[in-house]
Amino acid sequence: MSETIDYAAYALRALAGEAPTRAGALALLAAPDGDLRAMLLAAFTVREHHFGRRVKLCMLRNARSGHCSEDCHYCSQSALSAAEVDTYRMLPEKTLVEGARAAVARGARRYCMVTSGRGPSARDITRVRTVVRAIKREFPALEICVSLGILDEEQARELKAAGVGWVNHNLNTSERFHAAICTTHTYADRVRTVLAVKRAGLAACCGGIIGMGESDDDIVDLAFALRELAVDALPVNFLHPIDGTPLEGSASVTPVKGLKALCLFRFTNPASEIRAAGGRERNLGAWQALALYPANSLFIEGYLTTDGLAAEPTRHMVEALGFSVEDDEDATLSACGEA
């Protein structure tokens, strides 16, 4: 272990609500690989304080796929992508409600509906509201997240009134690096959406992607930006370089680097729900279970256009490491401030 890095001090700062210094944040990402165990244990102290050993499972549904006007280089559905992905218009209400039933049946506490595109039309908002009302009638306790692109405050309020609790809109990377991965909208557009979501009283789910060619400085900038925005949930994706996208052939994130990044986000955003998200299986491989030390949430059953670990082996992995899948009862206790 490094003789110069006191990982317990990072945990103490985080528990006191203080962020690491910028130099301290960079030092985490550059730490010797042999320090990983100590770093994970320090991050776990913070995670355990806020979330115990609970793991929230989330399940995604790609509610509209492909034909996007935007050029996000990592995305298989972008205007630049030649990837072979399913393309379809907004799925019918029945299919999306069935998706919610499947999520509940597999133990997910949150169901996330995602649409391709720059942002929703008025018709899209109306359709999503109808679907969300139907899901909430059947599953009042199921947390509903939507990821619809750029939103204004009025649209966010309409979604909230229908029963949406969370809106996902990632910053993806640092302000400095953003133009290298997307030119059709700006980092500022993304920040504006997150702020609109928060003003509307919705929980903001906002994170990023590691492994797009960014520097450690960019990862640290992202972590501090997400702290500044006080995001409620923070999905950390690891690039899955899909053939046909501008980032095809990119090198994988090493498991150690991915885990260090998760620890960094736990220290900068100690009380945020941190989710080991897309690309977890591909990049972390057999090390993915260790993500539970800094992170308190996982996706099950795959992502928008890529596969992931199914619910049952995910639950097995969670329980084998001494964690437990969060259920309705846990959520009730959390809401009462008792857990």
Task: Give the residue, chosen from 63, 75, 219, 318, that forms a contact with ligand SF4 under the rule CB under 6 A.
Answer: 75
Is residue 149 within the footprint of ligand SF4 (CB under 6 A)? yes
**Smaller CB distance to ligand SF4: residue 94 or 118?**
118
62 strand-pairing partners: 114
**Smaller CB distance to ligand SF4: residue 99 or 149?**
149
- Cβ proximity of 68 and 118 under 8 Å: yes
Among residues 205, 263, 280, 315, which one is catalytic?
205
- Cβ proximity of 201 and 159 under 8 Å: no
Please work out the total of residues on this chain that contact ligand SF4, with binding judged by CB under 6 A.
9
**Cβ burial, residue 274 (10 Å; 0-12/13-18/19+):** buried
Task: Give the residue, chosen from 62, 78, 283, 314, that forms a contact with ligand SF4 under the rule CB under 6 A.
Answer: 78
Among residues 58, 72, 182, 206, which one is catalytic?
72
145 is catalytic: yes
- Cβ proximity of 163 and 130 under 8 Å: no
192 is catalytic: no
112 is catalytic: yes
CA-angle at 302, arms to 300 and 304, nearest 5°:
130
Question: Of residues 106-125, which lie at the interface with ligand SF4 (CB under 6 A)?
Answer: 116, 118
Radius of gyration of the chain (CA): 19
Residue 74 CB neighbour total at 10 angstroms: 24
* Sole window of 1-9, 74-82, 249-257, 291-299 interacting with ligand SF4 (rule: CB under 6 A): 74-82
Is residue 77 within the footprint of ligand SF4 (CB under 6 A)? yes
242 Rama class: left (phi>0) / alpha (psi -120 to 50) / beta: beta
* Sole window of 72-80, 92-100, 154-162, 307-315 interacting with ligand SF4 (rule: CB under 6 A): 72-80
68 is catalytic: yes
**Cβ burial, residue 3 (10 Å; 0-12/13-18/19+):** exposed
Among residues 58, 68, 206, 263, which one is catalytic?
68
Is residue 70 within the footprint of ligand SF4 (CB under 6 A)? yes
22 is catalytic: no
CB of 145 to ligand SF4, least distance (A): 15
Is residue 68 within the footprint of ligand SF4 (CB under 6 A)? yes
* Sole window of 69-77, 196-204, 210-218, 290-298 interacting with ligand SF4 (rule: CB under 6 A): 69-77
d(CA 274, CA 15): 16
72 is catalytic: yes
Among residues 58, 112, 182, 206, which one is catalytic?
112
Q: Which residues contact 173 (CB under 8 A, 6 or more apart)?
A: 181, 208, 209, 212, 214, 218, 222
**Smaller CB distance to ligand SF4: residue 241 or 270?**
241
* CA distances from residue 206 to 65, 136, 170, 233, 292 in whole angstroms, order as listed: 21, 23, 4, 6, 19
Among residues 145, 182, 206, 263, which one is catalytic?
145
Given the rule CB under 6 A, which residues bind ligand SF4?
68, 70, 72, 75, 77-78, 116, 118, 149
> Which residues does the annotation mark as catalytic?
68, 72, 75, 112, 145, 205, 275
